[in-house]
C-alpha cells in the first residue's frame, strides 16, 4: 500500500463542477467574463455566479450558447463538450447501490464470462462484480481488492503486471473524470474519490484536470509474473444496456492484439 503518513493530503481531489470547467476553458482562451457574457446573451454577473458555483443549473440554451462561442474562439474537445453538458445537469442518472447492482445480475450477464477469453463485469467507477479465471490470472487480486482503481494504486502487483502502469493508469483516471458527469458527479462518487485521494499518485493525475474517453478496444502490455514474459492484448470495453440498470455495468474482455 502507498505510504501517505508523510503526506498531508493538501491537494484533495475535487469532483469536477460545471463552473470550474467553464472557467478553465474560458481562461485557456483568454476570454473575459464580459466578452463571454456579451457573446452568449447573458450577464457577466451570471457568468461569475456559474463559475463560483452559486448558480448550478444553467438552461440547455445557455449551455449550448457557451459551447458555441468558446468553440469558435478555439475548438472544444468532445470531452469538454460532454463535461459541460453533463455537469450542467442536462442528463439524468439515478445511481443504484452496489448491493442493488449485485442482486440485479442476470444469467445472461454471467454468460459474458463463460467464454474462453479473460472477462469481467464491473460497475461504473471500477467496483468489481464478477470475473472469470482468465481475468484473475491476468490481473491477480483485482476481484479481491473490490475496485479497479484501488487495485491500480494500492496493490503492488499492479505495477508488476502492467508494463506501462503509469500510462494505463493515467488513461483510466482521465476516463473516470469524464464519466463522473454522466453519473451524478460528486453525489455518486464522493466516497470513492475521497478514498482515492489517499494515494498521492492519484491526486497528481487528478490535478492535471485532463479527460479522455477509453476507446472501445485499447492496447495494454501485461507481464506474466511466473515467467516474466510480456504480451500485448486489447481490452474491449462495453456498456451493458440490459438488465435493471442499463448503462451502469461495464463488461471487459481481453482479446489477442493483432501483430
Domains of the chain: 18-87 (1.10.260.40), 98-256 (3.30.450.180)
Q: Which pLDDT score is estimated for 2?
A: 47
The pairing of strands 127-131 and 119-123 is antiparallel
Are 25 and 67 in contact by the 8 Å Cβ rule? The answer is no
**pLDDT by residue, tens only, the chain of 259 residues:** 444 444 555 578 888 889 999 999 999 999 999 999 999 999 999 999 999 988 877 888 899 899 999 999 999 887 888 888 888 877 655 677 888 888 889 998 899 899 899 999 999 889 999 999 999 999 999 999 999 999 999 999 999 999 999 999 999 999 998 888 776 555 678 889 999 999 999 999 999 988 888 888 999 999 999 999 999 999 999 888 777 777 789 999 999 998 7
Q: Which pLDDT score is estimated for 60?
A: 84
Q: Which pLDDT score is estimated for 66?
A: 94
Dihedral, 84, 89, 91, 97 alpha carbons, nearest 10: 120
Q: Which pLDDT score is estimated for 93?
A: 56
Q: What is the pTM of this model?
A: 0.70
Q: Which pLDDT score is estimated for 91?
A: 63
Q: Which pLDDT score is estimated for 113?
A: 93
Q: Which pLDDT score is estimated for 3?
A: 47
Amino acid at each position: 500500500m502507498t505510504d501517505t503518513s508523510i503526506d498531508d493530503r493538501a491537494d484533495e481531489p475535487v469532483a469536477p463542477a460545471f463552473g470550474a470547467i467553464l472557467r478553465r476553458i474560458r481562461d485557456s482562451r483568454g476570454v473575459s467574463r464580459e466578452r463571454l457574457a456579451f457573446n452568449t446573451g447573458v450577464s457577466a454577473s451570471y457568468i461569475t455566479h456559474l463559475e463560483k458555483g452559486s448558480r448550478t443549473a444553467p438552461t440547455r440554451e445557455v449551455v449550448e450558447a457557451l459551447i458555441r462561442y468558446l468553440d469558435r474562439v478555439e475548438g472544444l474537445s468532445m470531452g469538454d463538450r460532454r463535461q459541460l453538458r453533463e455537469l450542467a445537469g442536462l442528463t439524468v442518472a439515478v445511481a443504484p447501490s452496489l448491493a442493488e447492482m449485485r442482486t440485479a445480475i442476470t444469467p445472461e450477464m454471467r454468460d459474458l464470462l463463460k467464454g474462453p477469453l479473460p472477462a469481467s463485469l464491473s460497475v461504473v467507477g471500477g467496483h468489481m462484480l464478477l470475473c472469470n479465471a482468465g481475468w484473475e490470472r491476468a490481473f491477480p487480486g483485482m476481484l479481491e481488492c473490490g475496485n479497479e482503481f484501488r487495485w491500480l494504486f494500492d496493490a503492488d502487483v499492479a505495477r508488476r503486471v502492467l508494463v506501462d502502469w503509469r500510462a494505463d493508469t493515467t488513461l483510466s483516471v482521465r476516463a473516470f473524470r469524464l464519466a463522473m458527469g454522466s453519473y451524478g458527479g460528486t453525489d455518486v462518487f464522493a466516497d470513492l474519490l475521497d478514498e482515492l485521494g489517499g494515494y498521492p499518485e492519484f491526486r497528481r493525475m487528478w490535478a492535471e484536470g485532463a479527460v479522455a474517453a477509453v476507446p472501445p478496444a485499447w492496447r495494454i502490455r501485461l507481464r506474466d509474473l511466473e515467467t516474466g514474459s510480456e504480451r500485448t492484448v486489447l481490452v474491449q470495453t462495453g456498456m451493458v444496456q440490459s438488465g435493471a440498470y442499463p448503462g451502469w455495468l461495464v463488461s471487459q474482455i481481453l482479446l489477442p492484439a493483432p501483430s
